[in-house]
Structure 1
């Protein structure tokens, strides 16, 4: 412990004199909850915690007004449901920028517009609209002479990678490259912007805890893993994830593009089946990540590119769907009390000891594929159904509730929803209930039918008979 504190003090000493060269820590301010403090109170909380960068998921007027004059830099978002309109109509894009950006800027320091969020896994199939929407919003900024002040980007999920382990083999899914990846990267380059990436070591660890060291996932001391492709040594799963994206960009000749981690975090609470969720691990991950970022330096592949990270999230959000973990990523309770104590600024690093030490041995770090897609539980294998269970949608809850659950399952939940896309095997019947059933079951089987994984805010329930699904038979898993 003595040597660890000495090293920590040494890095803090360096940081004091090179803070301008280090990365930054921002935070995501999500509001899917009915018990959050007022936006004015939230801005005061951000100030008291020394947080000067915040990322939003919309352009809520009360929030943008509260941030006015705060000197907090803001990332706003054009939601996925507006991509179609923004891509097909320049006048719509112009009006959106006028009403949601010009009405608040510059007193509210908007620095980036996130056009969509994890669009490639959006079950509403909005991928084709992404780049045209980005270009139209950018044109609207050009018309207002704001294109040099406000950047355009779009957060991608790691599930867009076809290969991610080892990191040196990182590559984008072939079906995405020509239609959207290359045009998007071209746009980011030409507009002087950067790529946003949502990276969650928690998901990779939770699904592969038998082969991934917890210390490796939490930025704790470990023996590391050498990448057989590039010879670089990795001592954190986050570094491996980010370098897989860098390798994928490099394979397409976009080595010059910068990357910002638009979301990352670790849940402080989860269902019994959610391995790794808990306060100690959440504190260790986020606290060690803050230290990692604020002491400067990049990844093994891009050592000179300091990390720029938005933590997820500011508050626990009680109305999010999915497993218990989804409601418990916050650093703060809605009461504004801390869920756990971690440093958020350089000054706070002095007393940080790296989080609670693991009391039992963990496996040697062996990072598995780091994309968050996985599982074949929604497949088309026919079985007799003996001894099996399925997860089906509760159609009585209405379209909105089912759509929310469907979005989660196919997005953050990592369900394999490729077969319910237009033209795929299980697209018909083309109803929200049928597609939600497919997605819910895929998620449920991926989680090995664990208790609590077929709920989706009451939008799903377990059955013991194989549901009828047109010509598609849902797999009961292994």
Structure 2
């Protein structure tokens, strides 16, 4: 079922970060956004979306980095004046359809230790005074953790630290931006029905909120209305609430491409359905899906091993999902592809464990090792040699298959052998390609396989075998 991401009833935007090891070209990024039928973009700078200027149907939400908040709170503030001229008034004069500015990303979170408690109210007021006359509103960003309670929605209240700051900040705000990730709530859930509800499964069972006397059929309405009740508690019950959310495709047991696709489709239904929420029936719902593209430069931590896999597309602009509701496909309409040969790097059977551990640590400091984190798609079976193969090969691909990147102190080598397939190492896409995967005990091998990759200005669109990872290992041709 196809539906427009933006309609008369609401708006589905997508975050666009250009923080990839090899940045996706502007023209290709534009085609990905168009293929997704998103109504707008959330970006840190209009420089990230030069294709969204005059003549574009996209709406732009600018997201101010937290580090600017303290500077914006000062008067006079050359930093604020320069930023408004560079990111707002200048682009508006060139036709960029900027309609809102989000001040920070959950600046009241506990990790900032009240750093922005004093500066946020003044920063919001100063920014609003400069951009409101230009027709642009300022929204204040909070996270679900800034609420002392969010379930049931009628119990929604801001915490004792956030509430007094928001009371002083919200008078100058045009809305509240709520970062809410049902995925994080699902991490500790053991009941399949709870996970289905959080993942926006269309057949999931909802719940009755006795306090509000309302039925909640989906997780997005639940967290949205928790924020509405919390705003009412501060005297700002009419303030619009927009959500920023997403579901990663790897890095945890519940992070899969299939579940991300389901969640994205649910988000599209939520914004386009025209039903509003139980607390605000008929309201226009606005949502930002966290990332269009994976950020393979994002910090990978033990607490958040999924941090590089929030994207609908991977960092090379290949689709991880096939979601008809928002128009994303393995091959994006209007994007030209070329077929190239790729070489893959795998482990020597005689390599000692201590050398593999050293090489694995080095590779994972420089490339994306999400898939071999505990509970991720390629963690099991937990073999050192298998994990090293996946990490080494990622390092090798990130560096353009340069022969010097497939060595690691002699623990890897390029040799035309035919090892067994391993999770996370692509399989052949055509009869002329040789097997490229490695499993435990096989030497490092560099074999060649056909791959389709998006390019600009290349004639012809080949049709490779389309595959999609569901639960478990990723065996897509990459």
Identify the residue that residue 66 of structure 2 maps to in structure 1.
80
1:239 aligned to 2:221? yes
Residue aligning to 2:476: none
RMSD: 2.7
Number of the residue aligned with 2:112: 123
Against the structure 1 CA distance between its residues 289 and 49, is the aligned structure 2 distance closer, same or farther, given a 3 Å change threshold?
Answer: closer
Candidates 309, 312, 333, aligned match of 1:331: 312
State the alpha-carbon separation in 2 of the partners of residues 38 and 223 from structure 1: 43
Q: CA deviation at 1:224?
A: 2.0
1:162 and 2:148 are equivalent in the alignment: yes
**Worse-superposed segment, 109-118 or 84-93:** 84-93
2:238 aligned counterpart, secondary structure:
coil
* Distance (whole Å) between structure 1 residues aligned to residue 180 and residue 34 of structure 2: 26
Q: Determine the structure 2 residue equivalent to 1:198.
A: 179
Aligned counterpart, 2:195: 214
Of 99, 104, 108, the residue aligned with 1:111 is 99
| Bigger radius of gyration among the two | 2
Structure 1 equivalent of residue 124 of structure 2: 134
TM-score of the two chains, using structure 2 as the length reference: 0.62
The 2-side partners of 1:45 and 1:279 are apart by 18
Residue 42 (structure 2) aligned to one of 46, 51, 55 = 55
Tell me, in whole angstroms, the C-alpha distance in 2 between the residues paired with 1:51 and 1:222: 25
Does the CA-based 8 Å contact 1:290-1:343 persist in structure 2?
A: no
Change beyond 3 A, Cα 1:333–1:182: same
- Kindly indicate whether the alpha-carbon contact (under 8 Å) linking 2:46 and 2:91 is maintained by their aligned counterparts in 1: no
Consecutive aligned runs of 4 or more in structure 1 exceeding 3 Å deviation: 209-212
Aligned mates of 2:215, 2:207 — CA distance in 1: 6
Pair 1:176–1:31, CA change in 2 (3 A): same
* 8 Å contact from structure 1 (residues 90, 136) kept in 2: no
Counterpart contact for 1:50–1:344, Cα < 8 Å: no
Is the alpha carbon distance of 1:226 and 1:276 closer, same or farther for their aligned partners in structure 2, counting shifts above 3 Å? same
Does the 8 A contact of 1:318 with 1:327 survive in 2?
A: yes
| CA drift at 1:68 | 2.0
The answer to whether the 8 Å contact 1:218/1:281 transfers is yes
- Partner of 2:227, secondary structure, is helix
Tell me how far apart the structure 2 counterparts of residues 35 and 298 of structure 1 sit (CA, whole Å). Answer: 40
Query: How far has the Cα of 1:339 moved from its partner?
Result: 0.7
Matched residue, 2:442? none
Alignment of 1:42-441 (within 5 A): 42-56=29-43, 58-59=44-45, 61=47, 63-69=48-54, 70-92=56-78, 93-106=80-93, 107-121=95-109, 122-123=111-112, 125-141=115-131, 145-146=133-134, 149-178=135-164, 180-188=165-173, 193-210=174-191, 213-220=194-201, 221-261=203-243, 263-270=244-251, 274-321=252-299, 322=301, 323-345=304-326
SS in structure 1 at match of 2:118: helix
- Match of 2:315, SS? coil
Task: Measure the CA separation in 2 of the matches of 1:344 and 1:222.
Answer: 18
Higher helix residue share: 1
Distance in 1 of aligned mates of 2:219 and 2:39: 27
Gaps of at least 5 residues in structure 2 are: 329-361, 366-381, 383-478
The answer to whether residue 11 in structure 2 is matched with residue 21 in structure 1 is no
- The count of residues paired between Structure 1 and Structure 2 equals 322
Q: Residues 167 and 244 of structure 1 are in contact (CA less than 8 Å); yes or no, is this contact kept in structure 2?
A: yes
| Structure 1 residues 196-217: Cα deviation after superposition (integer angstroms, max 9, x where no partner) | 1111111111123348622211
Q: Deviations over 1:118-166 (max 9, x none)?
A: 1001526123211211111122235xx41xx111112211111011122
Aligned to 1:362: none
Using the TM superposition, give the Cα deviation of residue 65 of structure 1 relative to its aligned residue in structure 2, in angstroms: 3.3
Whether the 8 Å CA contact 1:225–1:234 is kept in 2: the answer is yes
- Contact 1:22 1:296 (8 Å CA) reproduced: yes
Instruction: Note closer, same or farther for the CA distance 1:21–1:48 as it changes in structure 2 (3 Å cut).
Output: closer
